[in-house]
Amino acid sequence: MATSIVISLDNRRPREDGAFPIIFRLTHNTKTTSIASGYSTRKKFWDDKNRCFRNTFKGTESPQRLNNFLVKRKAQLVDIITKLEEKGELKFLSIIQLKEKLVASNSKQSVFAFTENLIEDFVEAKRIGTARSYREVLRSIRVFRNQRNLSFNEVNLDFLKKFETAYLSRGNSLGGLAVYMRTLRAIYNKAIKAGVAEQEGYPFKDYAIRTGKTRKRAIPIEAIQKIKDLDLNPKEALFNDRNTFLMSFYLRGMPYVDLAHLKVSNIIDGRIQYDRQKTAEPFDIKIPEQLSPILKILIKGKSKEDYVLPIIKRKSSVLQYRDIQWARARYNRNLKQIAQMAGIEEKLTSYVSRHSYASIADEMGIPVTAISQMLGHEKISTTQAYLNKLRKSKLDEYQNEVIKGL
């Protein structure tokens, strides 16, 4: 049989706490992938020869119980592979199809293991930001559970309310809670689709995700003009970051991560053609004449495969994500200085150009459906959260329209 399962410590990607995930390494027809176990450890607590936790591992009350779990789960996976081979189905499955069957085979699979597999898939798809978001939620749930395993059946209304209380008691915001709960809901929905969780036990039909009031990040067109009119030294970083801010605004509020991934090859016949990093949705945006001189500076002397902006330095998707995180932090610091120089009281960040584009478009009377499409939002409600409230003068105007017939 050209298919095998091995318990292994995945040394490829250390986590922020220095731990590595424990995986079931799946080999099928010369190709290899991994199935998450839901557990992780530092190298010093892993016995690589015997493929098990050492007795010195402090992450559980009983390392032996974890080792028994790993051996038992491996035996279940091998049994499924054997049955597929006996039926003559195994040789017709790709490694991805086989992995899906193995992951879905455990109806009592833990939330931890299932989410780890999702994270692994996101990393392989180079959706590093999404993988990180899922990992942050998983880490928070592990802390809440004191590292005790969690089945999908246990994720009920009572669990959600207790997690909410614990999260907010640590001084976290409602906005952060909403992000975590939406991610957990997405995990549960994916588990239902994979046959790992049951629709009947779906807890989010009774639980309403609480959200705080969205903080508006938009600035008016007059403030954008002040930023544009700043007389900055072309040899300094502030000049480049000001141009990056304007570039985002000119390109329908293009997110910073998409700006970072733009290459010269994305500039085609006076347009920017690219796929959004977050959704992989294709975009085709006309280059406005105001942006042309900025682009001319940015791409001078570069080849088609060079990045337009000097943000990404490395080849690995994980390292590229870190490049972007570091550059964004520096960019936000410089935007704060740019705001002071332009006399802008509002806080200036990498998100402001995107929110401002949406808000200004809304004030001009452009339909929300069109704004939503320009921003690449899947839901109108996402766009509406970007928009500033209408000015009092506009509300007065609408009020007069309503009652003028009296």
Domain's final residue, options 145, 175, 205: 205
The reply to whether 237 and 118 lie within a common domain is no
- How many structural domains does the chain have? 2
Residue 266 covered by a domain: yes
The DSSP-derived string for 139-183 is HHHHHHTTT---BGGG-SHHHHHHHHHHHHHTT--HHHHHHHHHH
Q: How confident is the model at residue 213 (pLDDT cuts 50, 70, 90)?
A: low
Residue 406 covered by a domain: no
pLDDT at 244: 97
- Tell me how crowded residue 80 is: count the other CB atoms within 10 A of its CB: 17
Q: Which long-range contacts does 115-119 make (Cβ < 8 Å, 24+ apart)?
A: 115/36, 115/38, 115/187, 116/21, 116/36, 116/37, 116/38, 117/35, 117/36, 118/187, 118/190, 119/36
Residue 329 covered by a domain: yes
The reply to whether 131 and 25 lie within a common domain is yes
The reply to whether 136 and 269 lie within a common domain is no
Residue 175 covered by a domain: yes
Residue 399 covered by a domain: no
Q: Calculate the average pLDDT of the chain.
A: 87
The reply to whether 181 and 62 lie within a common domain is yes
Residue 215 covered by a domain: no
Q: How confident is the model at residue 399 (pLDDT cuts 50, 70, 90)?
A: low
The reply to whether 142 and 172 lie within a common domain is yes
The reply to whether 49 and 124 lie within a common domain is yes
**b/e 140-168 (16+ beta carbons within 10 angstroms → b):** bbbeeeeeebbbbeebeeebbeebbeebe
**CA-to-CA distance for 194 and 198, rounded, in angstroms?**
10
> Higher confidence at residue 306 or residue 62?
306
Could you tell me the residue range of the domain that residue 386 belongs to? 221-393
Q: How confident is the model at residue 406 (pLDDT cuts 50, 70, 90)?
A: very low
Q: Is the pLDDT of residue 45 over 80?
A: yes
Q: How confident is the model at residue 393 (pLDDT cuts 50, 70, 90)?
A: low
Strand order in the sheet with 271-275: 267-268, 271-275, 282-286
Domain's final residue, options 205, 233, 252: 205
The pLDDT tens digits for 259-283 are 999 999 999 999 999 998 888 889 8
Q: How confident is the model at residue 390 (pLDDT cuts 50, 70, 90)?
A: very low
Contacts of 129 (CB under 8 A, 6+ apart): 257, 277, 278, 321
Angle between helices 111-124 and 128-144 (to 10 degrees): 160
**CA-to-CA distance for 399 and 406, rounded, in angstroms?**
12
Tell me, rounded to whole angstroms, the distance of Cα 153 from its chain centroid.
26
Q: What's the N-to-C CA distance of the chain in angstroms?
A: 85
Contacts of 202 (CB under 8 A, 6+ apart): 188, 192
Residue 152 covered by a domain: yes
Residue 211 covered by a domain: no
The reply to whether 334 and 378 lie within a common domain is yes
The reply to whether 236 and 193 lie within a common domain is no
The reply to whether 191 and 248 lie within a common domain is no
The reply to whether 280 and 180 lie within a common domain is no
pLDDT at 246: 96
Q: Which long-range contacts does 376-385 make (Cβ < 8 Å, 24+ apart)?
A: 376/276, 376/279, 376/281, 376/283, 378/279, 383/358, 385/214
HEC secondary structure over 15-70: CCCCCEEEEEEEEECCEEEEEEEEEEECHHHEECCCCEECCCCCCCCCHHHHHHHH
Q: How confident is the model at residue 297 (pLDDT cuts 50, 70, 90)?
A: very high
The reply to whether 146 and 243 lie within a common domain is no
**CA-to-CA distance for 181 and 101, rounded, in angstroms?**
27
Report the CATH number at residue 333: 1.10.443.10
The reply to whether 183 and 315 lie within a common domain is no
The whole-model pTM stands at 0.65
